[in-house]
Amino acid sequence: EVQLVQSGAEVKKPGESLKISCMGSGYSFSSYWIGWVRQMPGKGLEWMGVIYPGDSDTRYSPSFQGQVTISADRSISTAYLQWSRLKASDTAMYYCVRQNTGSWDWFDPWGQGTLVTVSS
Amino acid sequence: SSELTQDPAVSVALGQTVRITCQGDSLRSYDASWYQQKPGQAPVLVFYGETSRPSGIPDRFSGSSSGNTASLTITGAQAEDEADYYCNSRDSSGNHWVFGGGTKLTVL
């Protein structure tokens, strides 16, 4: 079974750093892009960026460029999303998702989500 | 602001047909994919490309595209189809992806 398992919920203070993870299994992790998607409370889905673990090629949405860092360690089939200085506005659910590109683009499967709460 | 535009809310009577639309200039060049999200759950892929439905997705879900508009059609909507639906495609650069704002489907 192809699946992505994310790290657990986090509660942080503004200004703190954070790195959340997403481990893939059941497929060749290096051969598919892994994307990150934000969902703020009560709001829609926002594509943040994507990484290709095979060569670490990374692309960021202009809205998130410079705000977060996406990385991956293919040796342990894990992708990461990190912040150097969290803000209260980073409070959201974050999903990782396997992205297929080629004849058609699709996002599947999705991780279960990591809830990040930033509050003083 | 999203480069893909969806109606915020749509309703359908049980058993009837409903079409959820997604508009954007990039759809003239790139196909859309569609995601269903129920409260408290991660999104699920329900349709992509011109004719592709993932295994396990009922055949009442179908997709189409014309010009700058992509559509997801549910033929014979069921109570369990009540959810938020999001379209996704590449942006005009082709190097990034973007979601539509989402459509809340109510089954009456």
CB nearest to A61's CB, from B42, B49, B96: B96
> Percentage of residues in chain B with pLDDT exceeding 70?
98
Token readout for B67 is 């010009």
Closest A-chain CA to B95? A59
> Per-residue DSSP letters for B52-80?
B--TTS-TTEEEEEETTEEEEEESS--GG
CB nearest to B33's CB, from A44, A106, A111: A106
Bridge partners of residue A24, in order along the sequence: A4
Cis peptide preceding A109, ω within 30 of 0: yes
How many angstroms away from the CA of B106 is the closest CA of chain A? 17
- Among B22, B96, B98, the strongest candidate for a mutation testing the A interface, having the largest count of A CBs within 10 A, is B96
What does each of the 120 residues of chain A score in pLDDT, given as a tens digit?
999 999 999 999 999 999 999 999 999 999 999 999 999 999 999 999 999 999 999 999 999 999 999 999 999 999 999 999 999 999 999 999 999 988 889 999 999 999 999 999
CB nearest to A105's CB, from B33, B42, B43: B33
